[in-house]
Every structure is written in structure tokens, then in C-alpha cells.
Structure 1
Amino acid sequence: MTSRLRALPLIALLASAACDERPNVTPKDHAEGLYVKGTAEYLQGHFEAALASYEQMRALAPNDPRLPAARGEVYISLGKLAEASTEFEAALKLEPKRSTNWSRLGFVQAQLGKTDEALGSLRKAVALYPNDFNALEQLAEIHLKKGENDEAIRHFTLAAAAASGESKSELLLRAFEVLGKQGRHAELLALAQKSVNEGVRSSGVYTTLGDSLVRASKLREAAAAYQEAAGLAPRDPTLWELVGTIHMQLDKPGDAIAAYKESLRVKDRAIVHVALARIQLAMKSQEGAEQELAAALESVQGNDVRELKELADLLVTMGRKPDALRILANLSAEHDLQKDVALQLATAKLAHELKDVALRTAACARAAAADPAVKKCP
């Protein structure tokens, strides 16, 4: 009992000592905490708060090489490019062999219109780290702006090779875009095919491959490419529609129907019902065509010109010319479509058949105004 009573004051003393302990925070620890805090604020979009945290950090650790680079990123987000440039230049004095600092300085210089300085900085970044895809991409953009298309394509391709995930696909699409605008379709096809052969799987790359294969009249391969693209973009109904259209050109109505139905599962659209109605007509199924026409009329949006033109054409085919003329009359009167000569002539032709003189005259006048070469109107 006595021993136990003696122990009580000792236990109380130890507990008291434990309560009085304070964590020993060094200036270095405090600076590190401010860096983490500033970074978190930057990522949350609280840019002024991030700068304030970095300013407090500078008082404790003025030579921390991370600090000017972090401030530079904040200034980029604030659109203060001159200040960002100053910060990255300061970062390079502390870490001259850090490729990211050269890359970010080059990016800022490019935005400021300092093209030669930007090229120099970006080339230093790539020399230090050849797989810096951000630097490679910026080099590509500069070459593209200067009209140096071969260099732009080369750097976009190198950037894609160094990148991963979605960035790889986006960079390849930039290279594809440049090739397409230059009319270099054979090179575009080769690069798209090489990309998928090397395992790049994105809807955009497969869609470009499909477009290139169609241009090369390789329809079976194009259908396969579009089908891959559709699997990678499950919310895009147009890719399955392309597959169906190609199967119709290949005289494979069964495969076309299957593809069109996949498109409808994604989104119910009149244009696809029109295509299915035409297949039903080709198969001598008037009832099936009528059902698809009814579905098309029910799902038509009214703001898709291609869809409305196709629907009007189907109505003519199925003997509902007055309904078709109502659609064409509205379309041909649209301000943006008054110079569509083919539309105006189609409207005039149908108006002539249905003896609507006023509409025929108006459509003919718009066609002649859009193209003086039009001498004869239905």
C-alpha cells in the first residue's frame, strides 16, 4: 500500500512533464510546411494566398531552389508573364541544370513573343532531358507558327513518343492536323497506322485512321478503325453511323443494320432512322420503312441541316412530297442557307412539281443570286 502511495506523485510528475512538451519546430521545418501550404493553395486556385505563403517561406529559406519556380507557376496562372519570366530566371540561377525550369521559361518567353529566346531555352531543356514532352510540344508550336511544318510535325511526334495517356493522343492529333492541312494524306495514313500498331488506343487516333483509310478507298479497314473508335468513345453515336454507312457501300446490309442499331443505342437520331428506312425499302419492306420513317419524324431535332435534308429526300422517295416541301421551304429560307445552291434548286424543283409558284420563284431567285452561272431553274 505504501509503495503504491509513493508511486502516485511520480506518475503525476511524469504526466505533467508530458503535458508541457512542445514539438521542436525548426525554421527548416516551418519553411517546408509553408511550401506544402502554398502548393496546396495553388492547386486549389487560391493564387494570392499561395504567393503569400511562398513570401513567408522566402523569409525563412531564401535560397530554396523550389521557391522561384513555384512562384513562377503561380504568376503564369495569374497571367503575369513578365513576373513569371523573372522567377524562372531566378530559379535557373539556383538550378541551372533543371530542365523543367528551362522548359517553363521557354514557354513564358514564347507567350511574350520572344521567339528566339524561347527556342534557346526550350532546346536547353530538351538537351538536359530529351523526354520533356512539354518542351517538345512548345517547340512544335513555335515551328508551326513560323511555317516550318516539317519541324512542327517532327516535334509533335517526338512529344507524343515521350508523353503518356491522353497527352500522347492529343499530341499525335496535332501532328495529324498539320499533315492534313498540308494535304500530305499518305504520310498522315502512315503515321496514324504506325500509332495504332504501337499501341496507341484513343478514339481520336482511330477516327483519323478511319478517315485516312476512307480517303485511300480501303473501306473494310476503315470500318474496322471506326468500330475501334466507337468502342473507345461510347457516347459518340456518329462513329457507329459511319460504320453502318461503310457497310452499305460494301453491300452488307445486315452489318449496316447492326451498326445503325448500335448508334441508336447511344442516341436516338432521325438521320439513322432515315438510313434504316432506306435499307428497308431496298429489302422491299414497305412496312419496315414506314416504321423507321415514323421513328425519324418523332426523333428529328429541327436544327440539324443534314438530318432535315435527308429526311426530306426520304419523304419524297416515300411519296410524301408535300411534307418534304414544307421542310425544304423552311430550310431554303434560312439566312445561312440562302447561298446553298443545291438546296435552292431542290426546293424549286419540288415546288414546281407541286405547283407552288411563289416558292419556286423565291428559290430560283436565291439560287441565281448565289451563283450567277445558274441559268436554268426548274
Structure 2
Amino acid sequence: MFPRLRALPLLALLASTACNETPTIDPKDRAEGLYIKGSAEYLQGNFEAALLSFNEVKLILPDDPRLPAARGEVYLSMSRLDDALKEFETAAKMDPKRSTNWSRLGFIHAQLGRVDEAQSALRRALALYPHDFNALEQLGDLDVKRNQPDDAVRHFRLASESAPDAEKSPLLMRAVEVLSKQGRHEDVLALTQKAADQGVRSAELLTALGDELVRAAHLPEAVEVYREAASKSPRDPTLWELVGEIQARLGKSADALASYRESLRVKDRAVVHVALARLHLAREDRKAAEDELKLALDTVSGSDVRELMELANLLSTLGRKADALRILSSLSAEPDHAKDVELQLTTARLAKDVKDVATQKAACARVTTAGDGGVTKCP
């Protein structure tokens, strides 16, 4: 009986000891947990914490091939380019077949102004993965810096073709920007039309297409494109304004009125009320035009030059030339507009009409100061 009684406390002691022991964790499992933790911290923007976690992984598994690239991404997000460069150089040595490592190296070299090194790394990335849209975009950026527009357009277009849907339009707009700066409007039209036909129909791209259709005098087609762009950009009042302007030019006054009203639904702006007033005048409805003029005066911002010019012109048309001159004389006297010859000439002509000699002379003096070799004659 005794030995049996004595065994009971011994078993209890052993059980107690087993419960208090810390479970043994495999080092690889701990490293994996720290790597996941570091990745989560990086995605949350906790960059310093992410580095600490990755550093702990390195203490456990110093040869983990994922670490250099992971640390490099963190350094890139912190704008520590030199540190990022070292990490991705190591990553490329450890895993030379991973295209992203070369793509990141190309990006960093480009940011550091090392164009040749950047192009070499980016081409190596594309040799491994031809659809790396980030690498293609970077090559496009370098082409722009080297004044190689055709190559830039090609790379931005290829980048768009390989990019996720959300990135396609911004990349194509980079190509549009390059072509537009060169005045290559036919190429812009071809590029944007093809992209739209292939399903890239963002508000930005459709607006660019609409602009080129207007320039090419394809007005009915431009109306449809702008209308779609307006539907995709419900907070932009200018797109409905453009639709109304074209419809007015096409003689579709009722449609133009409706489109201008849509623009006002987005934002109440004086320039649209002016456009409505002109439509009413064309329809010989002076009362409606004067009502729109009142609304324009109530909503004028005072900072938009085009808006003020349009308003002054409408005031003059409706016989309120003195009021129009007050707007133009104030606008033309501002230092930022002193060299706007067209504005100064418009002001001078109106001042002459109302016999305001002082304002006329001041505007003409600014025309002379702006200087065009005496070609422009002030009234």
C-alpha cells in the first residue's frame, strides 16, 4: 500500500512540471512567423517595425533569400534609396531569375540619375518577364528624359497593354502627353480611338479623344464621347459644358440648353449662365438672356479670367458697356495680365467706345510694353 500511496504525489509533481514547461518552437517556424509579421507591418505602413521583424528573421535564418527584397521594398517606401539599392543588388545575386529584383534596381538607378544602369537593369527585367508593366513604364520615363518620344510612346503603350485594368488609362495618358507636347494630334486621335475601341474608356481618355475629335471637326462623334466621359466623371461640370457648346455649334439649341442645365446641376457657374444667355439671344428671347445674366453676376467667382471675359462680353452685347469696362479695366490692370495683348486691346476698344480716355491710354501703354515690334495697333 505504501509504495502506491507514495506514487500519487510523484505523479502530481510530474504533471505540474509538464504544464509549466515552455513549448519548444522550431526556429524555422518562428522565422516564418516573423516574416509574415514584418510583411503585415510593411503593408500597414509601419516601416520601422517591419525592418525590426525582418532583422529578427535574419538572425535566425541569415540566408533566407526573401529577406533582401523584403527589406529593399521597405527602404524604397522610406525613400532610403542607397539602402534599397544595396538590398536589391543582394537580392539579384541571390535570385537572378526574379524579374522584380531587376525592375526595382532599374527604378532606383533611374531615381539616382544613373540612366545607363537603369536601362540595363530594366531590359534584364523584361528579358525575364516581358509583361512587367512597371519596367516598361520606367523605360518610357527614361525615353522622355532622353528626348526619345517615339520610344517613350511605345513603352507607355506596351506598359498599358500589360497593366491591370485600373492602370491602363493612366499609362496611355502618359503617351498622350508625349504626343500632345509635340503637336502630333493625328497620332493622339489614333491612339485614343484605338484604346477606346479596345475597352479603355476612362473619363480622362475619353476626354482626350473628344478633344481630338473636335480638333478634327468630327463634332457629332465628339458629342457622344464627351457625354460618356461626363457620365464617368459626375463631379466635372466642364464636360457637360463642352457637350452644350458643340450642340450649340451644330444648331441643336434645345439639346444644348439641356446639356448646359446638366452642367449647372453639377456646379453653378457663371460661364454656363453666360452660354445659356447667348443661346436665348440667338432664339430672340432677351428676357431669358437677361435672367441668365443676373444669375451669372450672382455666381461669378472673380478669379477665372475666361469667366470674367465672357461675362464682360455678354454685358457689352446687352448694352451694358460701362459695366463690362469696369470688369475689363480691373482685370487688365493686374500685373499677371499686363502682357496679355488680346485682353489689353479688348479693354482699349471698349474704353474708346464709352469714351474713357484714361483707361484706353493705360491699356494701350501696356500693349506697347508687351511689345510685338509695332505690329499690333492700339485703337
The AA in structure 2 aligned to 1:146 is: R
Instruction: Give secondary structure in 1 for the equivalent of 2:278.
Output: helix
Matches for 1:171-190 after TM superposition, within 5 Å: 171-190=171-190
Cα shift readout 1:31-88 (whole Å, capped 9, x = no counterpart): 1222222223223333222222211111012122221001111222222212211101
Query: Paired residue for 1:373?
Result: 374
How far off its partner does 1:321 sit?
1.3
Which residue does 2:317 correspond to in 1? Answer: 317
* Alignment partners' CA distance in 2, 1:100 and 1:150: 26
Partner of 1:80: 80
Whichever residue aligns with residue 31 of structure 2, its letter is A
User: Match of 1:113, SS?
Assistant: coil
| Cα distance in 2, alignment partners of residues 375 and 240 from structure 1 | 36
Could you say which residue in structure 1 is the equivalent of 2:233? 233
Code of the aligned partner of 2:378: C
> Which letter does structure 1 place at the counterpart of 2:215?
R
Displacement of 1:287 in angstroms is 1.4
1:34–1:319: structure 2 CA closer, same or farther, 3 Å change rule?
same
Contact 1:214–1:222, Cα closer than 8 Å, also in 2: yes
Return 132-141 or 26-35, whichever deviates more. 26-35
Which string of whole-angstrom CA distances, capped at 9 and with x for unpartnered residues, describes residues 317-362 of structure 1?
Answer: 1111121111011101011111111111211122222222211111
C-alpha distance in 2 between matches for 1:196 and 1:258: 26
Residue 5 of structure 1: aligned partner: none
CA distance in 2, matches of 1:146, 1:367: 39
Of stretches 168-177 and 18-27 in structure 1, the one that deviates more from structure 2 is 18-27
Q: Does 1:300 align with 2:289?
A: no
**Aligned match of 1:7:** none
Q: How much identity, in percent, do the aligned residues show?
A: 61
| CA distance in structure 2 between the aligned counterparts of 1:143 and 1:360, rounded to whole angstroms | 50
- What CA distance in whole angstroms lies between the structure 2 residues aligned with 1:330 and 1:267? 26
The match for 1:140 is 140
Q: Which amino acid aligns with 1:377?
A: C
Hey, what's the Cα distance between the residues in 2 that align with 1:79 and 1:158?
A: 28
- The question of 1:255 aligning with 2:252 is answered no
Unmatched runs of 5 consecutive residues or more in structure 2: 1-11
CA separation of 1:221/1:94 partners in 2, compared to 1, >3 Å: closer, same or farther?
A: same
Q: Equivalents in 2 of 1:107, 1:38: separation in Å?
A: 23
- Counterpart CA distance in 2 for 1:29 and 1:333 is 74
**Which ranges of structure 1 fall in alignment gaps of 5 or more residues?**
1-11
Separation in 2, partners of 1:137, 1:168: 11
Give the Cα separation in 2 of the matches to 1:316 and 1:18.
98
Give the structure 2 partner of residue 336 of structure 1.
336
SS in 1 for 2:62: coil
Structure 2 partner of 1:119: 119
- What code does the residue aligned with 1:228 have? E
Within a 5 Å distance, the mapping from 1:1-378 to structure 2 comes to 24-371=24-371, 372-373=373-374, 376-378=377-379
| Separation of aligned partners in 1, 2:295 and 2:321 | 18
For 2:374, the aligned partner's letter is: A
Residues of 1 paired with 2:17 and 2:195: CA distance?
67
The letter of the residue matching 2:326 is: R
1:58 is paired with a residue whose SS is helix
In 1, distance between residues paired with 2:119 and 2:377?
A: 59
> What is the alpha-carbon distance in structure 1 between the residues aligned to residue 376 and residue 281 of structure 2?
35
Answer whether contact 1:367 1:374 (CA < 8 A) is retained: no
TM-score between the two structures when normalised by the length of structure 1: 0.92
Q: CA deviation at 1:22?
A: 5.6
Residue type of the partner of 2:286?
Q
- After TM superposition, give the deviation of residue 24 of structure 1 in Å: 4.6
**Which digits, 9 at most, give the CA deviation of each residue in 1:216-265, with x for residues without a partner?**
11111111111111111111111111111111111111111111111111
TM-score between the two structures when normalised by the length of structure 2:
0.92
In the superposition, relative to structure 1, how do residues 358 and 97 fare at CA in structure 2: closer, same or farther (>3 Å)? same
What is the deviation of 1:290? Answer: 1.2
CA shift, 1:308, in A, is: 0.3
For residues 133 and 23 of structure 1, the distance between their equivalents in structure 2, rounded to whole angstroms, comes to: 47
What is the Cα deviation at residue 135 of structure 1?
0.6
CA contact (8 A) 1:38 1:54 kept: yes
Q: CA RMSD in A?
A: 2.1
